[in-house]
Structure 1
Amino acid sequence: MLTVVLLCVMGFIAALVDSIAGGGGLISVPALMMTNLPTHMVLGTNKFASTTASFTSSLKFAKSGKVNFKLLKFLIPFTFIGSATGVYVLKFIPADFLKSIVLVLVLLIGVYSLKSKTLGMEDNSCDVIEKKTLIIGMIFAFCLGFYDGFFGPGTGSFLIFGFIKIFKFDFTKASGNAKMLNFTSNVSALILFAIQGNINYLFGIPVAIFMILGARVGTKLAIDKGPKFIKPIFAVMSIAVFIKLIFPLISSLF
């Protein structure tokens, strides 16, 4: 019971943070690893719980008018296909080769967001999106879906940053649309985890309940407080992902 209570508390915090700026897996995955479940069961159980949270967060963002469905109807299919492809390719290629590339990118995103005073602070998006921009967005959606299915860390940060840079959203709208794409890639991966029997529902169901609560609180904070509240959390979580990825590499040298 003590283990379940601890997992629920960490799940609540993870979902709260993730619904605001991404990176919740940095909290929930290590917590689940303390149960001594096999790694594939940890990842599957985390995907089960986090998918319920991302659905809750997506729904709340959508109800608040922070989601552009006219745009997402083009992006979601590419994200779904990309995620399924990433999970499939993972069987043949080790994910470790991506780490060095991701390390550089996620650090640059974190530092850039801290240094840029204007990044994501205003919504400069247009109702009519140019064809070139839409094509770039679809390629971006496929690549991030593939990355989430193949490797995963930092997906939320990359999605938010992409929506800001490509479509000129502010942090609040970027978070809402990013959460919808993140939910799509989560569903795709979750189906495969479930088929393979890699979900521990004894831990997954109670953690999912508390993640739903955390997602509701986090999303409300993001909507009410706006870009000024989201931006510093986004930067911190981006740098936290960098630290999480580089720590094993440094440890292996000593």
Structure 2
Amino acid sequence: MTYSTTLLIICPLIFIAGFIDAVAGGGGLISLPAYIFAGVPIHIAYGTNKFANCIGTSVASVKFFKSGNIKVKPAMISAVGALIGSWIGAQLVVLLDEKYLKYSLIIILPIVAVFLLFNRNFGQENNTKDLKVNKIYVSSFVIGLIIGAYDGFFGPGTGTFLVLAFTSICGFSIITSSGNAKMVNLASNLAALIVYLLNGKVNFSIGIPAAICAVLGNYLGAQLAIKNGIKFIKPVMVFVIILLFSKVIYEFI
């Protein structure tokens, strides 16, 4: 496959993935398969994907931060938890069979999708008045730890689960939860990227054009999410959940 053909396949899909990821998480469900479909070797695909994602996610994070839709301290605490959790999850890979997690997702994902569709008030506004600050910090750390472990063990849909957790447990609005999820994702992506860079697993000739597309997608997605709020974010979240559910089912066939 020629270089131009490779970019022709990858770049539009990375733009779409960045757009979706900025809004509701889950962009990796599209971006990583894009590299593999274009014939990029699997380890290079992972490293190059992380490179583009880091740059794209940083743009979305800045956009959410400037709009006031990130709770910085809870996000940073959650990021620390995610780094620890991701390491734990990576260790669990050698001990447990991921099929049991997939069985759980087959049950959980449709329930979450139905909940989002029929609970109109979910994540409509920040509702943290009944929670003490310390409780929010502890909850944020636990969210990062558990979902970080999921990310290290399995991965797809991590950003979406972060948004759901910040909204349902910490009481953040769905927009604020999306912003916080970006910061947590950025921290875990940077940690992984360093490993890939040190091992020479990033193809910059593909990664730089992909990163530009990721930036454009993330910027547009974040802008629309901030402008339109929950009425825009929730349908995208449901789409990501359906996409993840389809992926899990497909892997069992």
Query: TM above 0.5, one fold?
Result: yes
1:99 aligned onto 2:102: yes
Q: Distance in 2 between matches of 1:90 and 1:60?
A: 35
Aligned-partner residue type, residue 67 of structure 1: I
Which shows bigger deviation, 100-109 or 52-61? 100-109
1:127-138 aligned within 5 A: 129-138=132-141
**184 and 107 in structure 1: CA distance in 2 versus 1, 3 angstrom threshold:** farther
Q: Distance in 2 between matches of 1:94 and 1:48?
A: 28
Q: 2:26 matched to which residue of 1?
A: 23
- Can you list the C-alpha shifts for 1:34-71, whole angstroms capped at 9, x where unaligned? 22223222222212211211111111101110000132
1:1-254 aligned within 5 A: 1-90=4-93, 93=96, 95-126=98-129, 129-249=132-252, 251=253
SS in 1 for 2:187: helix
SS in 2 for 1:14: helix
Q: Is the 8 A contact 2:19 2:217 kept in 1?
A: yes
**2 and 84 in structure 1: CA distance in 2 versus 1, 3 angstrom threshold:** same
Q: Is the 8 A contact 2:26 2:159 kept in 1?
A: yes
Which shows bigger deviation, 100-109 or 206-215? 100-109
- Can you list the C-alpha shifts for 1:183-213, whole angstroms capped at 9, x where unaligned? 1111122222223333222211210111011
Q: Distance in 2 between matches of 1:212 and 1:57?
A: 8
Which shows bigger deviation, 81-90 or 140-149? 81-90
Q: Distance in 2 between matches of 1:86 and 1:191?
A: 18
Aligned-partner residue type, residue 174 of structure 1: S
Aligned-partner residue type, residue 119 of structure 2: S
Unaligned runs of 5+ in 2: none
Q: Is the 8 A contact 2:74 2:140 kept in 1?
A: no
**55 and 112 in structure 1: CA distance in 2 versus 1, 3 angstrom threshold:** same
Q: Distance in 1 between matches of 2:64 and 2:73?
A: 15
Q: Distance in 1 between matches of 2:42 and 2:65?
A: 33
**53 and 96 in structure 1: CA distance in 2 versus 1, 3 angstrom threshold:** farther
- Calculate percent identity across the aligned residue pairs: 38
- Can you list the C-alpha shifts for 1:81-123, whole angstroms capped at 9, x where unaligned? 2223333544565544422223333332222111211111222
**TM-score, length-scaled by structure 2:** 0.90
Q: Distance in 2 between matches of 1:9 and 1:73?
A: 31
**TM-score, length-scaled by structure 1:** 0.90
Q: Distance in 1 between matches of 2:218 and 2:55?
A: 9
- Can you list the C-alpha shifts for 1:208-246, whole angstroms capped at 9, x where unaligned? 111011111110000111111111111121121111111
